[in-house]
Amino acid sequence: MAKPMTKAEIADRLADRAGITKKQAQAVLDGFLEQTYLSLRNGRSVALGGFGKFVVEKKGGRKRKSGAAAKIPATNVVKFRVGRAAGGALS
């Protein structure tokens, strides 16, 4: 399996592509992530056209062995749904 791309690598490539400094690219990436986190915390999904969508969903508790519902409070989880363009790029 290929090594995952790090945040620093994304910032480096963004800097090269946009013709900005690596420090500026890191600030852009940090700002994007901060706004994404804020939106998700407020229950709003984040859609990136053609790439995909981050959504917040409730996840209830289940017992591992039986799969029966447990009396565990529901928690919010983030899920990512791949967009058509991104899915097609992988083929």
Predicted pLDDT of residue 36: 96
pLDDT for residue 50 is more than 70: yes
Instruction: Please classify residue 89 by burial: count the beta carbons closer than 10 Å to its beta carbon, then call 0-12 exposed, 13-18 middle and 19+ buried.
Output: exposed
Query: Is the predicted pLDDT of residue 26 greater than 80, yes or no?
Result: yes
**Dist CA 73 CA 62 (whole Å):** 10
**Burial (CB count <10 Å: 0-12, 13-18, 19+), residue 48:** middle
Which of 41, 43, 78, 46 is closest to 59 using CA atoms?
78
Amino acid 58: pLDDT: 87
